[in-house]
Structure 1
Amino acid sequence: VLKASWDLADYVHNSGVSVLTHCSDGWDRTAQMVSLAELMLDPFYRTLEGFAVLVEKEWCSFGHQFGLRCGHARSDVSNDQRSPIFLLWLDCIHQLLRQFETEFEFASTLLLFLADHVYSCKYGNFMFDCEKARVDCFDKYAATNVWCDVQSKRDTFANPRFSPERTVLAPSTAWKNIVLWKAYFARFDPTFVPPVECVQFYS
């Protein structure tokens, strides 16, 4: 996914061409690739406000099926339509954060927060399978907006090392530079020592 996204960004930035992207339905791999490419190309999307715009624009408004893919309110764990599409995207951003730490206004704590709450059903942004259902949920049930909580806890998610210098990020996609997202996948291992910025998040 990371390699395909950089190929897309490379075509746009270095070749000056437009790129048409489309997976089978347009709401899984398309959302992954296009939103990652936008992160690589545009510093705005690497700010807290810009990242919120990116998620709403490329994932929510384009109809990613959060309910189906995350198995919300579904007891059938063998359903082959379940797939951690959004979680994989967050993992890719974790790889970018590792390689370009000072280029992002937000820290890995934001990724952990979103990774947890895409499954928690606490926020209307990540529920249901289409934009209309999500909008109706906000209107009818006054569902909580995830970005309101992100803004209210801005200090928790801010990157203290933020000092942007680059416009375009060209990541290494070689296997040796891709590492396990330990802060997410190893956090319940009692031998795991979390990164300093994650200690408060875990507590």
Structure 2
Amino acid sequence: MSINSLLENYLYFSNPRNFNDPFDCITNREKYILKGSPGIVKHREDIGVCCFSTINDNPLMWGHYANSYTGFCIKFDSKLLRNNHIQIKSHISYLKDYMPTNSDFDLAKEQIKQLEIEEDFKETTLVALGMLNAYCWKYYDWKYEKEFRAIAINTDEFERKLKFDKENLLEVYIGHRMKIVDPNYYNLLIYILKNEYPTVKIYEVRPHHLIVKLEFEEI
């Protein structure tokens, strides 16, 4: 999340092509996928993913995603994702072995097809299952992220910037090196939080001086 997204209270839904994992959302297979129908091509252009973590105290996350403790982390209320623009909300599965097709997935599809339910609902369920299979897994080495993600199919509807209610923002954690490396950025962040999000709790995050553990001190 950026200063601008705080000022304008929006979440950015990235195209998976811009992720740091080249296998995420099967982007490594995209050159074959884009040979499909115009509908498939448009889907790959318009899909957007917003990634979260269920933890805030993993040193690897602070090193990788908060620019070595010069960035910040935000805790949101779960109501944040109650939005009609979001089609999929799911925890990520971390797999050691992944195959484009597998017997468990095929069996699940066949079982759904046999259910005595309305055809429209059946088709929606099959599409959702296919999306989960394609977009909600990562290689096992990424398991430290403990990721939860929201997926929007048509980001054209909101230009990838999905507005959220300010009361959904609960806490902000700021890396201890931000005020040293970039004091102007730090002061701007504090100013925005105090004025735009007056009820939010703010914490500074720093490494414990004796053991491998992060400490959180309320500002």
Same fold? TM cut 0.5: no
Structure-2-length-normalised TM-score: 0.24
Q: Larger relative CO (CA 8 A, sep 6+): 1 or 2?
A: 2
Larger Rg: 2
Which structure dedicates a bigger proportion of its chain to strand?
A: 2
